[in-house]
Amino acid sequence: MIENVFAEHATHNKFVWENLGDIKEGRGDLGEEMPVLVYRLMQFTMLDSLTKNYGPTQANNLFREAGYLAGAEFATHILDLSVDLNTFIANLQKALEDFKIGILRLEKFDTDTGNLVLTVGQDLDCSGLPITNETVCTYDEGFISGILESYTGTKYDVREIDCWANGDRTCRFQGVALK
């Protein structure tokens, strides 16, 4: 193979936002959107593979870690982090709807501690899944904590307390600010 000295020494194994590419140009006919089924197919086969290799706990940890990276990148590139909290929440709610990730609804926000409870309805990851009595949105947990940390500058431990897969119809997350 001839060495191409002009090629950039980038790799897709390390995530950078720009590597998402120009989707519009690349998929001129098929467009920028695709069925949720395909997203879930990739996500749950990957979870299957990770679980087989590393066990369920580690697989979920890796999913949470990936979600955190996605949340932080999403916040940095899509959201305005300079606005006040109320505007930020309104913008986040709209962005999650625009990108069809889910319907965000805040239930509680403690302005003293920064702790919050929110729900994500019609969640991309789990809405409509068979009931298995599990909380499965570990990717979302990381995604939300990445967004919150990017905005507040404080680390968040986000845990799913209700999940569609647990028979709850809506996914509820509790975020605790880690001082």
65 near other proteins, rule: CB under 8 A? no
Among residues 89, 101, 129, 176, which is the contact residue for other proteins, using CB under 8 A? 89
Q: Say how far apart CA 134 and CA 167 lie, in whole Å.
A: 9
81 near other proteins, rule: CB under 8 A? no
Q: How far is CA 84 from CA 48, 57, 105, 143, 152, in A?
A: 40, 37, 18, 21, 10
23 near other proteins, rule: CB under 8 A? no
The conformational region for residue 97 under phi > 0 = left, psi -120 to 50 = alpha, else beta, is alpha
Closest approach, Cβ 130 to other proteins, in A, equals 10
121 near other proteins, rule: CB under 8 A? yes
13 near other proteins, rule: CB under 8 A? no
Among residues 27, 52, 77, 94, which is the contact residue for other proteins, using CB under 8 A? 94
Yes or no: say if 133 and 166 are a contact pair by the CB < 8 Å rule.
yes
157 near other proteins, rule: CB under 8 A? no
Among residues 101, 109, 152, 174, which is the contact residue for other proteins, using CB under 8 A? 109
Yes or no: say if 140 and 69 are a contact pair by the CB < 8 Å rule.
no
Q: Which residue is it, tokens 């979600």?
A: 67
170 near other proteins, rule: CB under 8 A? yes
Yes or no: say if 179 and 116 are a contact pair by the CB < 8 Å rule.
no
What residues form DSSP beta bridges with 121?
Answer: 103
The residue (of 138 and 166) whose beta carbon lies closer to other proteins is: 166
Q: Say how far apart CA 137 and CA 141 lie, in whole Å.
A: 6
Closest approach, Cβ 107 to other proteins, in A, equals 4
Q: Binding marks (x or -) toward other proteins, 122..151, rule CB under 8 A?
A: x--------x-x------------------
Question: Within 13 Å and on the Cβ side, how many CA atoms surround 17?
Answer: 10
Residues lying near other proteins in the complex (CB under 8 A):
86-87, 89-90, 93-94, 97, 103, 105-109, 117, 119, 121-122, 131, 133, 161-162, 166-170, 172
